Amino acid sequence: MAESDQNPFNCAVCLDTWRDPVTIPCGHNYCMHCICGCWDREDEKGVYSCPVCKESFSPRPALKKNTVLAELVGKMKTVTNTPSVSSYAEAGDVECDFCTGRKLKAEKSCLVCLVSMCETHIQPHYDVPALRKHKLVKATAELQDRVCTKHDKLLEVFCRTDQTSICILCTMDEHKGHETTSAAAERAQKQNQVMEMKGQFQREIQETEKNLQELRETFASHKKISADALAHGERTFTQLIQYFEGKRSEVKELILAQQKEAVIRAEEILQELEQKATELRRGDAELAELCHEEDHLCFLQRFYTFKNCPALKNTPIMMPTLSECFEDLSQSLSAMRQTVEKVCDGDMVTLSAKIKEIEIARKVPAREDLLKYSCRLTLDPNTASADLFLSEGNTEVTTQYTGSFLPSRSTSGLYVAVPNAGVFSFSNPHSSGQPSPKYQVLCVQGLTGQCYWEIERSCEKEIDIGVAYKSICNMSLAYNLGHNDKSWSLSCNSEGCSFWHSDTKTDILAVMPGTRIGVYLDHKEGTLSFYNVSDVMTLLHRVCTTFTEPLYPGFRLENGAFLKICEL
């Protein structure tokens, strides 16, 4: 209970102005009707308390009308008897059913009389003993919804059989023989359910708010990590650009130095040739004079001088071959560019795969959505290890034979089963040429597109669940699922699970795997996802890569393990 903060003359129980005010021993004031109603409910305990301060009284105090307070309330009502403009009913307000002319705003509605009344017309319900028992509620315009449309009676009974509110006459008519109770009793029962639901809502709200907070923190972390990754990428490529700029400058300096050296050498050769040409022209002129020499002795002396002239010697000149040098340089640079591009392209493929493997908060699909891609799988006996026993149409496999017979080996190298035993054990026919891993088997079906399947497993033993290219069968000991670049595998045991590919292990710490595991493959998109299958699907691990061949589901079992491909 709470006292009104608006009017000191209001009762703390009904929150209206006192009617027949009384003062109880603790000093608090109430309407006679209100406090009597409260104490009537405490008769069984024999202890009576104040609704406000909770002070207890025993025996029950005798109550008398406080005449002083009654006179004050009467005078206050006289002063405020003339309705103000705000007391008149406006659009959206509930009107008083008794007012004539301009109607006042209704304060209360009576669920027995099915009328709404203003402050003045409600007074008889407080003063007349017979009307005091009527149930008053806050003024409402939906009173007719509480009346039976067939019998024009108040809907005060609840039919549990039909889950609907009815009147007393309905119990003797169309609801005769149904399980019924009072609306109050049904309300009390449903009130408990409402409180339970409210508790569930509160817990769900707390959990959702917790998840929201975690998600916000995750997003903030992702944003920071992404920003750091971008900054690191920018720094790395800036460093690479600076590195190649430096190398470009070095090559440029080498070319310019070579050019300078070639120019200097060419100038030296040019000077030598010009000097030789000058000497040859001078010699040619002297030879012309010699041809006209009349003195035979002088002619002969000068002739031998010219014969030994150095300018006539054919000295080889090494001309600079820059074109060949620079052609070789261009070829070397082109080869270097191709090598760098090849390395960068390969690294980018690796980087892209690594980035795709980064797990972010994403919605886990519902099982119903995944079941649209369900596929039927059967185990391939030709790929089974010798210690495996297949049954149920090659959909179940175990490493321990549990039938009533021992299979015998046929001449073909396969175990055969006695009729009606229902169990088959197979040996890999290729095992004579290559050693086969223990306890492994692939499925017959090669998968492309979108596919989904589920398996049931024994939790106490280790089981690997994965996919592989068919070419894995041509390998030797590297045939094991997840231990080569041709297969991907989720390894599950009683302690947790891990993911294997190319003989590299990735521990999965978030979730403990259950007995049923779902696998979703999107061959085109290059995604392989493993799920814990229960009431709520939980992602165990997702890998993003590029698949180049059809994938064959495969399994690898520890000794004593059991696995079944589920029918979906």
Report whether pLDDT(122) > 50: yes
Distances, alpha carbon 48 to alpha carbons 291, 414, 417, in Å: 161, 90, 86
Instruction: State mean pLDDT over 115-132.
Output: 86
Per-residue pLDDT tens digits for 432-478 = 344 334 588 899 999 998 999 999 988 778 899 999 998 887 655 45
Q: Is the pLDDT of residue 403 over 60?
A: no
Least confident of 126-130, 142-146, 219-223: 142-146
281 pLDDT exceeds 70?
A: yes
Minimum mean pLDDT among 102-106, 272-276, 298-302: which range?
298-302
C-alpha span between 407 and 245 (Å, rounded): 73
pLDDT one-digit tens code per residue, 58-73: 899 999 989 888 888 8
Q: What percentage of the chain exceeds 70 in pLDDT?
A: 83
Q: How confident is the model at residue 22 (pLDDT cuts 50, 70, 90)?
A: very high
Quickly state the pLDDT bin for 522 (edges 50, 70, 90). very high
* Residue pLDDT, tens place only, 282-338: 888 888 887 888 888 888 877 777 766 666 666 666 665 666 667 777 788 888 888
Average pLDDT, integer, range 201-222:
86
Residue-level pLDDT at 436: 35
pTM comes to 0.41
User: What length is written for the chain?
Assistant: 568
Spell out a b/e string for 316-336, using b for 16 or more CB atoms within 10 Å of the CB, else e: eeeebebeeeeeeeeeeeeee
For residues 16-44, give the mean pLDDT. Answer: 89
At 49 the pLDDT is 92
- Residue 373: predicted pLDDT: 93
Tell me how far apart the alpha carbons of residues 288 and 463 are, in angstroms, rounded to a whole number.
108
Instruction: Please report which confidence band the pLDDT of residue 270 belongs to, taking 50, 70 and 90 as the band edges.
Output: confident
What per-residue confidence (pLDDT) applies to 102? 82
Q: Band the pLDDT of 400: cuts 50, 70, 90.
A: low
The C-alpha atoms of residue 409 and residue 175 are separated, in whole angstroms, by 75
**Alpha helices per DSSP H over 157-312:** 183-291, 296-307
When the pLDDT of each residue in the chain is averaged and rounded to a whole number, the result is: 80
For 225-246, how does the pLDDT look when each residue is reduced to its tens digit (9 = 90+)?
888 888 888 998 899 889 888 8
Residue owning tokens 């520890």: 558
Q: Is the pLDDT of residue 126 over 70?
A: yes
Q: Could you tell me the CA-to-CA distances from 405 to 259, 385, 388, 426, 548 in Å, in that order?
A: 90, 19, 15, 15, 43
Q: What digits encode the pLDDT tens for the residues 148-166? A: 888 878 888 999 899 998 9
- Kindly tell me if the per-residue pLDDT of 407 is higher than 60: no
Higher pLDDT, 328 or 411: 328
Q: Mean of the pLDDT values across residues 174-198? A: 87
More confident residue, 504 or 343: 504
Could you say which DSSP state residue 483 is in? S
Instruction: List, in sequence order, every residue forming a beta bridge with 531; answer none if it has no partner.
Output: 518, 539
- Count the neighbouring beta carbons within 10 Å of the beta carbon of residue 423: 19
C-alpha to C-alpha distance for 523 and 521, rounded to whole angstroms: 6
Q: What is the pLDDT of residue 473?
A: 75
Q: Hey, what amino acid is at 479? A: Y
Burial class (CB in 10 A: 0-12, 13-18, 19+), 88: middle
Q: What is the pLDDT of residue 402?
A: 46
Q: Kindly give, in sequence order, each residue whose CB lies less than 8 Å from that of residue 385, ignoring residues fewer than 6 positions away.
A: 427, 428, 436, 437, 438, 439, 440, 441
Q: Which pLDDT score, from 0 to 100, does residue 23 have?
A: 93
Q: What is the dihedral angle through the alpha carbons of 89, 95, 98, 102, rounded to the nearest 10 degrees?
A: 30
> Between 326 and 118, whose confidence is greater?
118
Say yes or no to pLDDT of 24 above 90.
Answer: yes
Cβ neighbours of residue 277 closer than 8 Å, sequence gap 6 or more: none
Tell me the pLDDT band of 531, cut-offs 50, 70 and 90: very high
pLDDT > 90: what percent of the chain? 16
